[in-house]
Structure 1
Amino acid sequence: MSYAQNPSREPRWAGEFLGLPESGPASAASYPRRIGAIFIDWFVASGIAMIIEPGNSWWVLVVFIGMHFALLWLFGTTLGKRVFKIQVVQVGGATIKLYQAAIRAVLLGLVIPVLVIDRDGRGLHDKLAGTVQIHM
């Protein structure tokens, strides 16, 4: 029985209702990997921000959002995501578009959308952008 036939059914694995495999390449990225990737990206953004204007923590956020937007749009991954073998794609597997990278990056910077998770393990930022994080 599919999600469309029974919307109250819980998924057996993250990404099941999106048609993603349970494990291996193209499966939904796990939370530990996603959190590790965010830490690496934040660390890199902090270093760049210290070069631009030491002591101004707002620059860290600006660099973080800008880095996510540019790298996701150009490569579908960031430095941290690359280390943890995560790629961001459209639901269905296509490369993300410019507007999707922008929506995702801005919402990621707001933090709260990241904490609102749906049944398939996607944060609100991914859901609104029409994207999903998968294992490479």
Structure 2
Amino acid sequence: MASSSAAATGPTEEFRYPGNRLGLPEDGQGSVATWGRRLLALLIDWLIAGLIASVVMGRPMWAGGSDFGVMHSALFAATTGILTGFAGGSIGHRICDLRVLPVRDGKTFTAPPGLLAGILRALLVSLLIPAVIFDRDRRGLHDLAARTIVVRR
């Protein structure tokens, strides 16, 4: 007779892979994005915001300064928030073949998440900590607060 602790260690019907509970496929299009792709998309967006800040401030990114950091962060939050809200993903998401979908009542939808969700996500990602605390479906606190999930396009 198997012990109850042995039965509890394997996958349950509720959780077999990230996104299962939300009706997403395990692999391929529509599956939950991997950490590598998400990190690369973030780095691309951060670099693009830095390049724009360099043009606006009239000096290179590596020159730094607190005013440059504020401009860089503001541009990052604005560009990623607006693009995610209205288009379902930032430039980095597009390059990495990712999409941000809204999650409502345990179901995902194909429409973009909306401006408020996009801005909320971007602001929380800017704080970093919400992005590194996540659940079994690879949804960080920023995704949970904005009620979104990042999937492969």
Deviates more, 1:85-94 or 1:126-135: 85-94
List per-residue Cα deviations over 1:21-70 (Å, max 9, x = no partner): 10111110111000010111111011001111233122111110001111
Distance 1:93 1:24 in 2: 17
Structure 1, unaligned stretches of length 5 or more? 1-5
Q: 1:17 aligns with which of 11, 18, 21?
A: 21
Unaligned runs of 5+ in 2: 1-7
Which residues in structure 2 correspond to 1:1-12 (within 5 Å)? Answer: 9=12, 11-12=15-16
Q: Is 1:123 matched up with 2:135?
A: no
How far 1:11 moved relative to its partner? 2.8
Matched, 1:69 2:81: yes
Whole-angstrom distance in 1 between the partners of 2:54 and 2:69: 9
Q: Which amino acid aligns with 1:118?
A: D
Q: Is the 8 A contact 2:86 2:114 kept in 1?
A: no
Query: May I ask how many residue pairs the two structures share in their alignment?
Result: 130
The DSSP-based 3-state class of the residue aligned with 1:32 is helix
Q: Which whole-Å CA distance do the structure 1 matches of 2:47 and 2:82 have between them?
A: 17
1:97–1:74 distance in 2 versus 1, CA, 3 Å: closer
**2: CA distance, partners of 1:79 / 1:61:** 16
Correspondence for 2:3: none
CA RMSD of aligned residues (A): 1.8
Q: Relative CO higher for 1 or 2, CA cutoff 8 Å, sep ≥ 6?
A: 1
Query: Percent of counterpart pairs with the same letter?
Result: 35
**Deviations, residues 70-121 of structure 1 (Å, cap 9, x unaligned):** 1112211111110110000111124212221121111111111001111111
5 Å-filtered alignment, 1:1-136, equals 9=12, 11-53=15-57, 54=59, 55=64, 56-91=68-103, 92-95=108-111, 96-136=113-153
- The list of structure 1 runs, each at least 4 consecutive aligned residues, that deviate by more than 4 angstroms after superposition, is none
